[in-house]
Amino acid sequence: MTTTLASIVAAHAVERPGDAAYITRSGRMTWREYHERSDALAAALLADGLQPSERVAVVLPDGDSVHVAFLAIEKAGGVIVGIGARAGEREREHLLAKTGARRVIDGAELTAPRRGSPDPDRARERDDLWLLNSTSGTTGLPKVVMHDQARWFAFHDLAVAAGALTSADVFMSALPAPFGFGIWTAHVTPTLLGAPCVVMPRFDPDACLELVERERVSVLAAVSTQFVMMLEAHSLATRDLSSLRVLFTGGEMVPYERAAQFEDRTGCTVLQFYGSNETGALSRTTLADDREHRLRTAGRVLREMHVRLLSDDGRDITATGGPGIAACKGPVNCLGYLDDDEANAQLFTDDGWMLTGDYCTIDADEYLTVAGRASDFIIRGGKNVSAAQVEDEVATHPSVALAAAVAMPDPTFGERVCVYVEQRPGTPVLTLDDLREHLGVRGVGKELWPERIEVVDALPRSSGGKVAKGELRADIRRRLGRA
């Protein structure tokens, strides 16, 4: 039998039964408990008639129970349908219908006392369809991504090499479990190493800082929005964060100034993979990279992923260094979208390369830099303005905690630049003139200057934890309509 997550947890239950597998704010689950609880749930699923490869939806917050459910479904020979706990009813119903999942684990199944062992002949293999999750996109109904375990085992090897990860590390994943970033940082890599992972049901920056200090977390995983919120937290000044040595981030453009502040405050090293739920990774930064390369680029391309740059008409322009749309083909790619020929035609080129949808450059030293999503450019008078670059510059203003730039319709230029801002507590209300003056002093080109600012209490988030830009685009259209 191929080594799988279930077989590795079973081994840990024998070799380190009393060590913590998952740590929450209120307790610990040992490797033996993890194995026994997932065994019991798997046996219950089989007793209830679960069929081989049947889809089972899991809708749980990000505590230890979601991992018990994932492992139980694997042991019972089912396929996990991971649905984010923050998914709305419309999104949830869409995913249930799309995947054909008729069983939903949402809490009650995990509290009823039961004993039993699953049938070992029903367990999944590493190359089998293992998980279905959704794109954490910001518009429309999500597509369903197909995963096997093999891709995440390959991703694990890349992560271990990047951050010198070992079983002595204490992990903390602040990410939603069903999505790619949360899968490898909470469900896969800690298990493969036999290291504990700290989890919390919903991200809260002060609670996160408390757990980092209490559990002496050494490897933290958080999207950029989350670690910026930690920097803004009231309790930051009083916390001992000296145990942190690595922060893995990604999912959004890494804001240079804030990432540098996080390193200076904690002494840790900020690392990232560039990729997506679908592609896995195209490049990574490592402990061997200097700060400029770690925070100004997305790292060196991964040879295993055969990264290419394509022009808009599909020509290979890798030799020019770009910019071009990044494409890849390698061991950490997903299996494609479930039952969606149209979406797969957009995801893959005719000759089988997976497209990212991002414009990137690759320099002579093989460092990749993301210019912005093909869909996240603001086209002002025929000129492409990178929303990611606007956000990076706006975030340098001392009053700005978080920023998101979107296109607003304009009858003359087609689109103009609008920026939504969360302010730091206690700072004066930021005006457009204040912001433009700041950017001018920094020497920022006027094409990156916002032409409208909206200060909000909190930026909306998608179910994957990223800023929901679709909501912001809709909001600015409503505001303009009212005006």
286-329: pLDDT as tens digits:
999 999 999 999 999 999 999 999 998 899 999 999 999 999 99
Cβ contacts of 459 within 8 Å, gap of 6 or more = 225, 402, 404, 420, 422, 467, 468, 472
d(CA 286, CA 21): 26
pLDDT at 462: 74
* Residue located via tokens 């990432």: 259
Tell me the C-alpha to C-alpha distance, in Å, between residue 124 and each of 76, 119, 128: 8, 11, 6
Measured CA to CA, the distance from residue 206 to residue 159 in angstroms comes to 27
pLDDT single digits (tens) 1-59? 579 999 999 999 999 999 999 999 999 999 999 999 999 999 999 999 999 999 999 99
CA-nearest of 172, 129, 164 to 148 is: 129
CB 332 within 8 A of CB 151: yes
Q: Cα(46)–Cα(380) distance, rounded to whole angstroms? A: 58
Which residues in the chain land under pLDDT 70?
Answer: 1, 108-116, 136-140, 251-253, 372-375, 381-384, 463-464, 483
* CB 57, CB 134: distance < 8 Å: no
* pLDDT score at 401: 92
Give the Cβ contact number of residue 186 at 10 Å.
Answer: 27
User: What pLDDT sits at residue 376?
Assistant: 75
For residue 139, the model assigns a pLDDT of: 43
User: In angstroms, rounded to a whole number, what is the distance separating the alpha carbons of residues 221 and 431?
Assistant: 33
On the CB side of 5, CA atoms within 13 Å amount to 34
pTM assigned to the model:
0.81
